[in-house]
């Protein structure tokens, strides 16, 4: 415990707001320095039963690895009030190993769009045709539609294990669309008028990355802008974001980082889009990102019982005021998450000052009880 | 002539059974099963080339892990790793190939 306390004192850098561009930033926030300070041993000593329950649930493999069954956690990191309170890895992964985020990438892309908005080079109300060479009939789609998954483009979001030739996302990433993914998305037909209906689409997220990239490039930013403007200021030195052969960021799917660096990304949102007193995302961006998507608020049903979307984030809130309960029972209703295929998640819980990162390889998609994992993690990861 | 025709027809039937039926089942014939003209072998080679490349040089995991991690169904792709050039090539059923190349520490791998 003494060691932990020393680390905390040594590693923490207290910052105050008031730095240039720090409008409305939290004043009493603390940030990780070179690395997250840790209180793992102190928490384990204080809550041995809760820590054991979490470990047993998340890290018990079901049968042979080759069978790909059950819950297969590669890493689990909990940060509470700025300290790592739980950290464990499995299946050959470690603190220095990057993990594929899959659709966690979408929430990262939303932040890249936020950076471009903060720079004044991207406006949510603008037609995508302001930034992209799109067919005239697609010019009714705005940047906001992409952010809210309401472009109206005809899209089938299905993965392995389903009819491959029906899958728009597989065609985009690995099939006919792979060389120019933005061009592929723009060539899809329209199913709804833009803004009319919510539909989960990696195509919308990919176009959002394309639009943000074109807007930044037009303003003179080099191809390294996601790093210089977002990942580097946060100290996410492991961050990788791949491109297609046409140079578009694969912002729907191919973001990688270590779980510790994913926690930094979560912490940016927990601190209202600020880092060390500097505003990275526009004021109000995080609040708007975590509001229920407008078509759902208007009454159209959510896509699945545990999926209530915000702007490229998933929320633990009822979709409508009179609607069903929050999707993750027993978890604070202000929780929201970046979530990806095979069980990737960055969960932000502002009311608890907690970020939970879980990476895994769950090929058996129904195996992990997401709310159960979060309840166990919250119980095990609180500072004494 | 007639005597020869029968074996030819039989051979064609056998060929159809061996080659065409599995290809059709794999979704190689465009438009047969869905809206996109990409069959399973095309998806399989691109997926395995790209994800093996990223697994090796972004995740920095060992080759055996990466081969197992990227295994997909149907398992038709064969993967070759050029460690020196940081290139992964995947092939399936003679006709389909894909190649992914490691670009740099920020941009990871790209499908070529």
- Touching A: B residues 48-87, CB under 8 Å: 50, 54, 58-62, 65, 68-69, 72-73
- Give dist(CA A301, CA A307) in Å, integer: 10
- Give dist(CA A204, CA A307) in Å, integer: 17
Residues from chain B contacting residue A171 (CB–CB below 8 Å)? 36, 38
Separation in Å, CA of A97 to nearest CA in chain B: 6
| Interchain pair A165, B34: CB under 8 A | yes
When pLDDT is averaged across residues B16-34 and rounded to a whole number, the result is 46
- The position carrying tokens 């975590």 is A290
| Interchain pair A165, B36: CB under 8 A | yes
pLDDT of residue B10: 56
> A197 and chain B: CB distance < 8 Å anywhere?
no
DSSP secondary structure, A27-47, as one string: SS-EE-SSS--B-HHHHHHH-
pLDDT of residue A165: 81
Closest CA to B36 of A152, A360, A164: A164
pLDDT of residue A63: 85
CB A320 within 8 A of CB A44: no
Separation in Å, CA of B32 to nearest CA in chain A: 9
Tell me the pLDDT band of B39, cut-offs 50, 70 and 90. Answer: confident
| Candidates B40, B47, B59; nearest CB to A99 | B59
DSSP secondary structure, A197-257, as one string: S----HHHHHHHHHHHHHHHHHTT--TTHHIIIIITTTT-TT-EE-B-TTS-B-TTT-EEE
> B37 and chain A: CB distance < 8 Å anywhere?
yes
Tell me the pLDDT of chain A (384 aa) as tens digits.
333 443 333 333 333 333 346 788 988 777 887 899 999 999 999 999 999 999 999 999 988 888 999 999 999 999 999 999 999 999 999 999 999 999 999 999 999 999 999 999 999 999 999 999 999 999 999 999 999 999 999 999 988 877 778 899 999 999 999 999 999 999 999 999 999 999 999 999 999 999 999 999 999 999 999 999 999 999 999 999 999 999 999 999 999 999 999 999 999 999 999 999 999 999 999 999 999 988 888 777 666 766 899 999 999 998 776 666 889 999 999 999 999 999 999 999 999 999 999 999 999 988 999 999 999 999 999 999
pLDDT of residue A325: 82
pLDDT of residue A21: 65
pLDDT of residue A310: 95
pLDDT of residue B20: 43
Domain ranges of chain A: 1-97+258-384, 105-223
CB B33 within 8 A of CB A165: yes
| Interchain pair A241, B65: CB under 8 A | no
Please give the C-alpha separations between residue A240 and each of A107, A230, B107, in angstroms, as whole numbers. 14, 12, 6
pLDDT of residue A179: 96
Q: What's the CATH number of domain A105-223, 2.60.120, 1.10.1130, 1.10.150, 1.20.58?
A: 1.20.58
| Candidates A100, A163, A173; nearest CB to B34 | A163
User: Is domain A1-97+258-384 given the CATH code 3.30.70 in the classification?
Assistant: no
- Look up the ipTM and state it: 0.92
> A166 and chain B: CB distance < 8 Å anywhere?
yes
Residues from chain B contacting residue A92 (CB–CB below 8 Å)? 61-62, 65
pLDDT of residue B38: 78
Helices (H) and strands (E) in chain B, counts: 4, 4
CB A96 within 8 A of CB A258: yes
């Amino acid at each position: 415990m003494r060691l932990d306390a020393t680390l905390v004192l040594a590693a923490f850098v207290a910052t105050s707001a008031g730095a240039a561009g720090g409008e409305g930033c939290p004043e009493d926030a603390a940030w990780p320095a070179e690395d997250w300070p840790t209180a793992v041993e102190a928490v384990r000593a204080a809550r041995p039963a809760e820590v054991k329950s979490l470990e047993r649930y998340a890290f018990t493999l079901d049968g042979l690895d080759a069978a790909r069954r059950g819950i297969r956690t590669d890493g689990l990191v909990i940060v509470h009030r700025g300290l790592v309170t739980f950290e464990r890895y499995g299946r050959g992964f470690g603190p220095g190993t990057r993990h594929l985020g899959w659709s966690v990438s979408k929430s990262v892309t939303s932040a890249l769009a936020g950076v471009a908005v903060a720079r004044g080079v991207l406006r949510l109300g603008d037609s995508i045709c302001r930034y992209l060479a799109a067919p005239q009939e697609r010019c009714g789609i705005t940047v906001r539609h992409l952010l809210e998954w309401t472009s109206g483009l005809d899209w089938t979001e299905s993965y392995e294990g389903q009819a491959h030739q029906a899958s728009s996302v597989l065609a985009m990433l690995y099939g006919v669309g792979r060389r120019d993914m933005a061009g592929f998305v723009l060539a899809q037909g329209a199913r709804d008028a833009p803004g009319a209906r919510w539909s989960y689409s990696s195509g919308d997220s990919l176009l959002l990355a394309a639009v943000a990239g074109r807007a930044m490039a037009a303003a003179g930013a080099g191809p390294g802008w996601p790093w210089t403007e977002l990942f580097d200021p946060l100290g996410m030195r492991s961050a990788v974001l791949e491109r297609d052969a046409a140079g578009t960021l694969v912002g729907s799917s191919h973001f990688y980082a270590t779980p510790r660096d994913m926690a930094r990304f979560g912490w940016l949102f927990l601190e209202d889009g600020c880092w060390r007193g500097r505003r990275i995302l526009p004021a109000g961006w995080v609040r708007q990102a975590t509001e229920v998507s407008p078509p759902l608020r208007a009454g159209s049903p959510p896509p699945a019982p545990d999926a209530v979307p915000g702007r490229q984030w998933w929320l633990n809130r009822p979709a409508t005021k009179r609607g069903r309960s929050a999707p993750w029972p027993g978890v604070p209703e202000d929780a929201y998450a970046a979530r990806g295929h095979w069980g990737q998640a960055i969960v932000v819980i502002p009311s608890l000052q907690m970020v939970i990162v879980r990476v895994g390889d769950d090929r058996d998609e129904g195996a992990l009880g997401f709310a159960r994992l979060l309840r166990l993690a919250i119980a095990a990861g609180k500072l004494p | 002539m007639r005597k020869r025709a029968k074996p030819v027809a039989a051979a064609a039937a056998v060929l159809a059974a061996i080659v065409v039926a599995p290809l059709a089942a794999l979704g190689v014939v465009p438009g047969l099963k869905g809206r996109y003209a990409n069959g399973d072998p095309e998806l399989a080679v691109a997926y395995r080339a790209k994800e093996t490349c990223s697994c090796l040089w972004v995740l920095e995991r060992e080759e055996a892990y990466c081969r197992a991690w990227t295994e997909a169904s149907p398992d038709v792709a064969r993967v070759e790793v050029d460690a020196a050039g940081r290139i992964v090539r995947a092939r399936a059923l003679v006709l389909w190939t894909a190649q992914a190349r490691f670009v740099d520490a920020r941009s990871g791998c790209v499908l070529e």
